[in-house]
Amino acid sequence: MIITYNPQSEEKGFWLIPSEEKEQVSFHDLKINSDIFSGKANTNYTLALNDSVYIFIGLGDKLTYKSIKTAFRRFAHQNKAIKTNDLKIDLSRLDDHLHVEAAISGLMLGTYDLGHFKVDKKKHAFLNQDFTIELNIDNTFQSTVEKALKIAKNQLDTFDCVDLPAHVVTPIHLAEKAKSLEKNVKISVKVFDRQEAEKIGLHSFLAVAKGSENEPQFITITYRNPLAKKHMGLVGKAITFDTGGYNIKTQGMVHMKCDMAGGATALGAMQLIADLDLNINVTAIIPACENRIDGKAFLPSDVINSYSGKTIEIIDTDAEGRLVLADGISYLLKHHKPDVMIDVATLTGSAVATFGDVCAASFTNNEELASQVKNIGESIGEKSWPLPLWDEYKSQMDSDIADIKNLATKPTAGAITAAKFLEFFVENHPAWMHLDIAGVSFVDDEFAKTKHASAWGVHLLAKLAESI
């Protein structure tokens, strides 16, 4: 089969054209001395012979989804200016569908260009109109390859969304992106602006939005499949920029364009679920606004209301994510009654301090959901690790003046006390999970000089939707 990418086409993405019988390039006659190249992970070997250049990619002997994806992403990333239009890739030694998926997804992710604003932007060679990749792979992998391309396309979209700065990715930008999903007939989108949100009482969401001139957007995306047996609810934190508000950030503010990564993850997962036409109903709530400062901004010591009717004492305006999530969760529960509810958010520095960029912090009241998310995450390199929701942590969120306060008394266990705050709005829903993705969604790695988006969770949530 041949993968072609046509930049002229309306539809952004890669797709497959079945090949007529083509002569396969065989590598098996080429003998490489193992002292020179043994196939160790993170190595490669280039050989020019006759009129061809052969590049051997070492995958090592411990194949994981992530190691394969990274190796192929690296190949594409490093060959942005490759001087050929017809690349042949031999994947015949991969016999596991997930491994093939990882290789193809990685290859496509390697075309990502972070230089959105560069004047002299050079398009990746793979994206040239007449560029083709011919895969040497058994035809039984056709649907796997198609799926891998859909996964990568939505991850690339999520990269754009998180990496672009806050003057581009405003709440309205996110709402427009959400509305564009309606081209799939199974998706509908509803958006409340500031006035509509006020009318229905999204007070906690609006308290955060008060300090910004950018119109807040409370976005609901629904995907309905008539064959669905289950309903999954998502809530994604989308603070398009987090200055901290009056508790202004003194460190790391420059990275806070990533504070909408939870919302971008929910959006990306929705697109992917729709692209894969999964037999499930999904509702995603994306409360999108900015946390800024001006004369109207909320203050520490304010007491605010919420959609649930519960009152909240504001201790710190930088603990804003939980405020928009609280209203997102209450709204989702009241109007959509999902069987399973997952919120995803760049919520705390504490999750970063605990797990770094290796895994997300997960919190749940449901054992089955815990093992599903853990196992799926391990199979695709999007790991999470559980932290407890013990009641000993709840008393730290008790307020004298209101029903709850937005920051714990002690400066310890921040990721857990934030989760306890959210739990207060979950109304004993039996299958809720909170994923704190502050450490994993915006990362330092070999693919850029600065921190950038990872699209962590897009694939995980779609795969979860496939299995519940």
Q: Which residues bind Zn ion (CB under 5 A)?
A: 239, 242, 259, 318, 320-321
> CA 156: distance to chain centroid?
10
Position 321 contacts ligand BES (CB under 6 A): yes
* Cβ neighbours for 425, distance < 8 A, ≥ 6 positions apart: 306, 308, 310, 325, 326, 329, 330
Catalytic residue from among 74, 186, 210, 322: 322
Position 308 contacts ligand BES (CB under 6 A): no
- Residue closer to Zn ion, measured from CB, 106 or 414: 414
Part in contact with ligand BES (CB under 6 A); list of ranges 63-71, 89-97, 294-302, 349-357: 349-357
Position 318 contacts ligand BES (CB under 6 A): yes
Among 101, 160, 215, 242, binds ligand BES (CB under 6 A): 242
- By residue count, the chain amounts to 468
Taking the C-alpha atoms of residue 272 and residue 276, their distance in angstroms, rounded to an integer, is 6
SS3 of 324, please?
Answer: helix
Position 417 contacts ligand BES (CB under 6 A): no
Residue reference for tokens 């997930």: 98
Among 308, 346, 362, 372, binds ligand BES (CB under 6 A): 346
Partners of 344 in beta bridges: 236, 435
CB 340 within 8 A of CB 427: no
Q: Shortest Cβ contact with ligand BES: which residue?
A: 349
Part in contact with ligand BES (CB under 6 A); list of ranges 269-277, 278-286, 319-327, 388-396: 319-327
Residue 60 phi, psi dihedral angles, 5° rounding: 75, -175
Smallest distance from Zn ion to CB 347, Å: 7
352 binds, among ligand BES, Zn ion, none (CB under 5 to 8 A by kind): ligand BES
Rg (CA), the chain: 23
Q: Let me know if 405 is a catalytic residue.
A: no
Position 275 contacts ligand BES (CB under 6 A): no
Position 300 contacts ligand BES (CB under 6 A): no
- Residue closer to ligand BES, measured from CB, 175 or 260: 260
Site string for ligand BES, 13-42 (x = CB under 6 A): ------------------------------
- Residue closer to ligand BES, measured from CB, 242 or 382: 242
CB atoms within 10 A of CB 79: 17
Taking the C-alpha atoms of residue 425 and residue 421, their distance in angstroms, rounded to an integer, is 7
Taking the C-alpha atoms of residue 171 and residue 218, their distance in angstroms, rounded to an integer, is 9
Q: Let me know if 257 is a catalytic residue.
A: no
Closest among 101, 463, 426 to 269, alpha carbons compared = 463
Q: Which token pair is 135?
A: 């895969």
Q: How many amino acids of this chain bind ligand BES (CB under 6 A)? A: 16
Smallest distance from Zn ion to CB 239, Å: 5
Catalytic residue from among 179, 224, 249, 310: 249
Strands 2-5 and 14-17: antiparallel
Smallest distance from ligand BES to CB 130, Å: 41
Among 320, 327, 343, 382, binds ligand BES (CB under 6 A): 320
Taking the C-alpha atoms of residue 171 and residue 167, their distance in angstroms, rounded to an integer, is 10
313 binds, among ligand BES, Zn ion, none (CB under 5 to 8 A by kind): none
- Residue closer to ligand BES, measured from CB, 119 or 254: 254
* Cβ neighbours for 399, distance < 8 A, ≥ 6 positions apart: 312, 313, 405
Residue 138 phi, psi dihedral angles, 5° rounding: -60, 145
Taking the C-alpha atoms of residue 386 and residue 384, their distance in angstroms, rounded to an integer, is 7
Residues annotated catalytic, as ranges:
249, 322
Question: Which residue ranges make up the site for ligand BES (CB under 6 A)?
Answer: 242, 259, 316, 318-321, 346-350, 352, 407, 414, 438
